[in-house]
Amino acid sequence: MRINPITLTNQNKLMKDYRNHNKDIIQFFDYDPSAYKERLAHLKKRTFQREQLRDTLLSMNKKWDAPTHTLRNIKRLEDDNSVVVIGGQQAGLLTGPLYTINKIISIIQCAKEQQLALNIPVIPMFWIAGEDHDFAEINHIYMLVKERMTKLQVSQHINGKKPISYMNIQSNEVNSWINQLFQTMPETEHTKDLYQSIIDCLELSETFVDFFARLLFTLFPDEGLVLLDSANKDLRQLESLYFKQLIDKQQDIAQGVYETSQKLRRMGYSVTLDASINDAHLFYHMNDERILLKRNNLEEWVGKQEEVTLSTKELQRIAEETPERLSNNVVTRPIMQEMLFPTLTFIGGPGEISYWALLKQSFHAVNLRMPPVLPRLSMTFVDRHIEKILNTYHLSVTTVINEGVNRDKLNWLSSQYDPPIDKLVDQVKQSIREVHKPLREVAFNIRPDIGELADKNLYHLQSEIDYLYKRMHQAIEEKYNHPLTAFNLLTQTLRPEDGLQERTWNILPFINMHGKTFLKQLLKQTYSFTKDHYIVYL
């Protein structure tokens, strides 16, 4: 395995400026991304519910049969000097898109580096967004089927907006879906072990979060990774006081997000969050569904569709007595994370960092500082077969990832004939126009309608040439099916859906080909968090 960094040319303006430490965007954050010592000095002034966190995390992780290294790391939270490197994602089936794996590798790598640099316990922690309710976002993965990335979706249906943590798995449906996935892959020396480990995780899981967590521990058994279900009811008890603070400071939080979003837009940055000063940025749970709240006046909190109306006193009482009936949205989740954990740094993807750019004032509203925000590692995996195709057609992997292969494919096809067919067709059509011109002029002199008939005649002649070109092109594609298939494979592997591999592919095919040691090898590499992207040659 070897790795090479490359530059991405299609990053959005906000992410590009953040990576380049542009002061225009850095002003929206409390720290430079690598200000670890400054952050550590700040954390030493704060206190946390360390014993309660330890007990809650031990109970949670033991439920998933966490490895010894994980349990040992949880106990290290007792140390007042210990800190966490944290990030998270939804509980995607079979871990979801590759960026989830890349994020976990980033968390582990950063924790190792800073533990050596700061000489204190630094714990890698990954929160699972169990409070999210959009099952359609996690109920599938994409697999390469007949040269196309195909969405393969589990057939289990979920009604309503129940949090993922509370969605029970229909094992027979998921089992059938797993069998379908394995039929799309070649059998290797690793297939049987991979299949059995997934089935074992499934059989021991009641919910989709359980399945996700157990599978992560099979993939990362030795790294001390600590998992956290953000919807865990015991955790909610620790959040009770913090929910009360969020309710009390709702106006300041919402005002800060709204004002910052307007400022970012004026500066030319894209803001995907549609913020309002009336947003509560909290969900209320009723009848197994999450209801997004808004503030319609100083004393009333209402559901987005007016499903519920609560006074501030009622909401505060819910936070105190039954906090499991509340949960956070994208604005308050980072604040709650900061209240709970001694966070050395938060590791996020491009979308998350765009959200976090909105939150500085909201953190300050509850007398907190936003932790350093570090962009996660981004990777594309290139196996030997793909590398061979690139070399055969003299293609740059950087160019393919940034721009795709369509232009190179067309140029290659054209080069198979001299002169190239498309140029020859253009020349023939131009010659016809020139030869036909005197006839059209005479026709228009005879009568306008005859002139129009001459124009139609030229159009039909040109159309016949276009039809011939189309048929010739089809025949060429049939003749050169093998190389064109290779170009298509490059597209599906390196730039699927006109985006990065990590946004579409799942880890499953790579482990099937290279085994679980593939992940161990990834963790042994040396990465720089300042780089846009890495090519990993397998």
**Structure confidence by residue, pLDDT tens digits, 238-275:** 999 999 999 999 999 999 999 999 999 999 999 988 89
Q: What is the pTM of this model?
A: 0.90
List Cβ neighbours of 303 (8 Å cut-off, separation of 6 or more). Answer: 284, 291, 292, 293, 294, 309
How far is it, in rounded angstroms, from Cα 252 to Cα 63? 39
| pLDDT for the residue 304 | 82
Distance CA 476, CA 471 (A): 9
Q: Quick one: pLDDT at residue 158?
A: 82
Tokens of 349: 């993807």
Least confident piece of the model among 19-23, 159-163, 169-173, 345-349: 159-163
Q: Confidence band (pLDDT; 50, 70, 90) for 298?
A: low
Residue 418 scores a pLDDT above 70: no
pLDDT tens digits, one per residue of 180-191: 999 999 999 999
Cβ neighbours of residue 455 under 8 Å, at least 6 residues apart?
440
Model pLDDT, residue 411:
84
Distance CA(4)–CA(223), nearest Å, equals: 24
Rounded average pLDDT over 203-215: 97
CA quadruple 140, 234, 238, 72: dihedral sign: negative
Helix (H, G, I), strand (E, B) or coil at 177: helix
Average pLDDT, integer, range 289-305 = 87
**Three-state helix/strand/coil letters over 15-84:** HHHHHCCCHHHHCCCCCCCCCHHHHHHHHCCCCCCHHHHHHHHHHHHHHCCCCHHHHHHHHHHHCCCCEE
Distance CA 444, CA 281 (A): 71
Residue 434 Cα distances to 438, 444, 486, angstroms: 8, 16, 40
pLDDT tens digits along 358-375 = 999 999 999 999 999 999
Give Cα 162 to chain centroid, integer Å: 22
Give the helix ranges, DSSP H, for 119-207: 171-183, 191-203
